[in-house]
Structure 1
């Protein structure tokens, strides 16, 4: 066989291999999406009282039963909604960078070109010890630990001693898992002068109890506690109230765009977090003007399934719907600039905290969660959003 024939045969084999691999990955994605739907149905289906015929109608179109408790889905408009099945299929859009985005440490390091918009990373916590970040530098954010001999011989520090030193300078520090979402496992730690112990997520901890907690934490990062703006404090001071900004890539224009944004406001139920799954409120933001168009609590993860609408915050009485997010244009421009710098991340949910000096990025999300955004508008009505999902074979 000639070298040319061998080369042609090799290319044909490679094409066949890539075709089989692509088909397998597509089948795997479809199976995983169906299994994820089944899990959601088992968890939330009992929270919606509808006939079996309606459940089957929804399922054939990619929706779980919870959609009937959240949206007015009909034969005429169902294809304007992003369905459960389609959302689950979107989870692989950021491959092969998905794992880097979802790991909070690697995401922080990748974002260092925009360090002015990041909370300070103090170190990584594992099994009662903190490795200071960056371990190789001669100066740290904690002057009390900058003894030259200590730095020369040790890279790790006792976790509680390290946190105590930080709390001499900081109002609070944050311990958050490198992996995970929904605010689970996040601890906001403050010194409690009254008890000579600690206040952690509002609960009092003794030194012994805190030591036990620190010993159990693996793959955690220790970061600065970022002070939110006076505007956010007015809405609800008991949590860090963040804006979820979703960016997508416009492949025709070869540039990112903001597809959606909403402000999450904590409640007594969710504090000290603002997460919707913990009982926080979602306020949809007009991406052109920054106005909050509505505010609602959305029950979509467990019964009861449904939407409760608010004009004002239930605890503080602060007006929500109709107010405008301060400096929204600067925030939107800043997020778009960041998204443009990372084209390998075509689909990002940016968690943004407004501060009195600007804004900070608290974390990135490779699966932004678009189902909730549809309580007031259908995401597939926006042509660029539809084209984006079509490009990634989600629809």
Structure 2
């Protein structure tokens, strides 16, 4: 009875997601209404995906849809919740690898340190003055939503690029719930050279090979922020993504989920993107595969990796799924490895 109820609850959640996140999704591209309806109904695609994948000229049967991605979120059941919560994920991962230090958390109105000491909002100001730069994040949301960089500079407090008095900063913290404050780290020079106004992370996907049943590196992109996305680099917010050659660590040209432009250089800094090289790429792959092996109950993990100033890596977060757009900017995957993986896990049928 319990399994049957769980099955119907999952179907209900997917039904709601279909209407909220696909039919009524906000579009970044101008798309004729009839194309939007056709995209939504015929396979669960977003209107944006019709335009992004150019279904006027490409066969949509070659592509995985937004709804396919939502179904893939259950591949790691019943352990998917471990990565969906940033706090829980960090608590697990810090046993094996560097993660950002977490300093304070607000949960249901209670403000505490990570060793369970009661804290006041003014303690956040003291911490910021000590550290100079911090991040505040919701511990359950994704796609960079609700993430702000906190800066103390020249005796002033800034949230992203806006100056706050100490009183206004306290009000800012009081007005939000379910957040935590964590460390901000200096990124490697290769990333600063491209664009130094955002923290630019690598999205690297590991999946358990359906034939060998061992983890492998499947896909990777360098995410790069822009002036419009500060302080985050997320592609879903309009950031850029450059495909990483899995053998060499060399970046391709960058693309964007909000337009069909190709960026060989950064649109704001003018720095080259195509041809840039990820430092210590072979070591990164080895370390990530070793890390994935510490999670034998997972089948698919999307890692957000920061290459730090000293060339080591820090796991900003790990995700139980990854949007298909950043993968399919370089071609459809329904009849390729990711599609085969989804079929193996009964996410799609054909």
What's the TM-score once normalised by structure 1's chain length? 0.79
Name the Cα RMSD after superposition: 2.7
Contact 1:171 1:225 survives alignment (8 Å):
no
> d(CA) in 2 for partners of 1:212 and 1:260?
42
Show the counterpart of 2:74. 92
Deviation at 1:387, TM superposition (A): 2.8
Contact 2:104 2:113 survives alignment (8 Å):
yes
Give the counterpart of 1:345 among 298, 302, 305. 298
Cα gap change, 1:218/1:26 in structure 2, threshold over 3 Å: closer, same or farther?
closer
Gaps spanning 5+ residues in structure 1: where? Answer: 1-16, 136-154, 300-305
Deviation at 1:80, TM superposition (A): 2.5
Q: How many residues align?
A: 347
Show the counterpart of 1:388. 341
Give the counterpart of 1:186 among 123, 129, 147. 147
Per-residue Cα deviation, 1:147-192 (whole angstroms, up to 9, x for no partner): xxxxxxxx21223224414532x23122111111122222222223
Deviation at 1:248, TM superposition (A): 1.5
Q: Which stretch of the first structure deviates more once superposed, 65-74 or 176-185?
A: 65-74
Contact 1:127 1:215 survives alignment (8 Å):
no
Per-residue Cα deviation, 1:291-346 (whole angstroms, up to 9, x for no partner): 212201221xxxxxx32111100111111112221211111221121112112232
Cα gap change, 1:276/1:157 in structure 2, threshold over 3 Å: closer, same or farther?
same
Contact 1:55 1:64 survives alignment (8 Å):
no
Show the counterpart of 1:44. 27
Deviation at 1:235, TM superposition (A): 0.7
> d(CA) in 1 for partners of 2:236 and 2:323?
12
Gaps spanning 5+ residues in structure 2: where? Answer: none
Show the counterpart of 1:287. 246
Show the counterpart of 2:317. 363
Aligned ranges 1:197-208 → 2 under 5 Å: 197-208=156-167
SS, match of residue 245 in structure 1: strand
Aligned ranges 1:215-364 → 2 under 5 Å: 215-299=174-258, 306-357=259-310, 358-364=312-318
Q: Which stretch of the first structure deviates more once superposed, 59-68 or 235-244?
A: 59-68
Contact 1:173 1:188 survives alignment (8 Å):
yes
Indicate the structure (1 or 2) with the bigger Cα radius of gyration: 1
What's the TM-score once normalised by structure 2's chain length? 0.89
Contact 2:22 2:45 survives alignment (8 Å):
no
